[in-house]
Amino acid sequence: MKAAILEKITNLKENKQPLKMVELPKPVIGAEEILVKISACGVCHTELDEIEGRTHPAILPIIPGHQIVGVVSERGKLAKKFKIGARVGIGWINYACGVCPACVSQNENLCSAFKATGRDVHGGYAQYMSVAENFAFAIPAFYSDAQAAPLLCAGAIGYRSLRLANLADGQRLGLAGFGASAHLVLKMVRYRYPHTEIFVFARNKNEQAFARELGAVWAGDISALSPKKLNAIIDTTPVWKTIVDSLKNLEPAGRLVINAIRKEDKDKHYLTQLDYGDHLWLEKEIKSVANVTRYDIEEFLNLASQIPIIPEVEEYSLEEANRALAEIKEGKIRGAKVLRIV
């Protein structure tokens, strides 16, 4: 099978071709696993964090990718959930133990044995992938493969972030950063909280215009002062500066939800600018988002098809994976990027 692999940690500014195209054997499946013939795989900022070592892959070389759509081509002798030919999705959550306190309380995203697709096990930048059947998801018929792919991570993690924001209809929400996840959150909010105003902080004019096009009442620079104080802000950026900028835009008792697996070290010095009175006083909160659960993905897929939420996607071939990653690094983003796998 064709696959794009990461062989070593590298800096994307210096190395524009971090992934190498190779031929590999198809995965051999276990008794409770299915083999998925992949048709589409979303490209996520987390892949940049893996490539550059901020969230280090468990093995090298590794096949990245965790927003995967395909069809079941084989199933193990104990795998009964999906029929051959069924269309399924695979997200970031690849394994949780199922018996620890986190798992039994439906917080399997916090399981100490958690494994992530494309980081701890091989992912979807390939023609085939194996997965335990209980960690695969039925894809609503409403969506094309390319449309469904970003729902599995950008959408599901955005859904979890919105739940953690504790937003009530009519309160004001800020979105710091406006890529794949944030544009889906905006669509969700307009449906679930019709009286909520959405304010977007984005690093370039194209992202700001896209946010206004989708219904934001205001869109400005990533470090701008909001024209109104906000009840909650969801930060999807990879940098520290937005934490400081966001806290000053919150109402008393406001909550900042950080939807990022890592923050880059290069601007950590901005944290020295935190002022207790301006940024933290009056019971403001900071909440991080860690991974997703299977429940997040299942609930979001159901909600997305009801609304419906249609992601904006830019499609690339598997061989163009390096170009798609470079464009995310450079901030050339409109919606979500998806690889077509043939």
Question: What's the average model confidence in pLDDT over 26-33?
Answer: 97
What average pLDDT does the structure give for the chain? Answer: 96
In this prediction the pTM is 0.93
Per-residue confidence (pLDDT) for residue 302, from 0 to 100: 95
Of the pLDDT bands very low, low, confident and very high (cuts 50, 70, 90), residue 22 is very high
Per-residue confidence (pLDDT) for residue 333, from 0 to 100: 86
Query: Percent of the chain at pLDDT above 90?
Result: 92
Residue 52 has pLDDT above 80, yes or no: yes
**pLDDT tens digits, 81-127:** 999 999 999 999 999 999 999 999 999 999 999 999 999 999 999 99
Question: What's the average model confidence in pLDDT over 235-247?
Answer: 94
**pLDDT tens digits, 179-234:** 999 999 999 999 999 999 999 999 899 999 999 999 999 999 999 999 999 999 99
Question: What's the average model confidence in pLDDT over 260-289?
Answer: 90
Of the pLDDT bands very low, low, confident and very high (cuts 50, 70, 90), residue 271 is confident
Per-residue confidence (pLDDT) for residue 49, from 0 to 100: 94
Helix/strand/coil (H, E, C) string of the chain?
CEEEEECCCCCCCCCCCCEEEEECCCCCCCCCEEEEEEEEEEECHHHHHHHCCCCCCCCCCECCCCCEEEEEEEECCCCCCCCCCCEEEECCEEECCCCCHHHHCCCHHHCCCCEEECCCECCCCECEEEEEHHHCEECCCCCCHHHHHHHHCHHHHHHHHHHHCCCCCCCCEEEECCCHHHHHHHHHHHHHCCCCCEEEEECCHHHHHHHHHHCCCEEEECCCCCCCCEEEEEECCCCCHHHHHHHCCEEEEEEEEECCCCCCHHHHHHHHHCCHHHHHCCCCEEEECCCCCHHHHHHHHHHHHHCCCCCCEEEEEHHHHHHHHHHHHCCCCCCEEEEECC
Of the pLDDT bands very low, low, confident and very high (cuts 50, 70, 90), residue 264 is confident
Per-residue confidence (pLDDT) for residue 17, from 0 to 100: 97
Residue 265 has pLDDT above 80, yes or no: no
Of the pLDDT bands very low, low, confident and very high (cuts 50, 70, 90), residue 248 is very high
Which domains does the chain show, CATH number per domain? 2-151+292-340 (3.90.180.10), 156-288 (3.40.50.720)
**pLDDT tens digits, 84-94:** 999 999 999 99
Per-residue confidence (pLDDT) for residue 173, from 0 to 100: 98
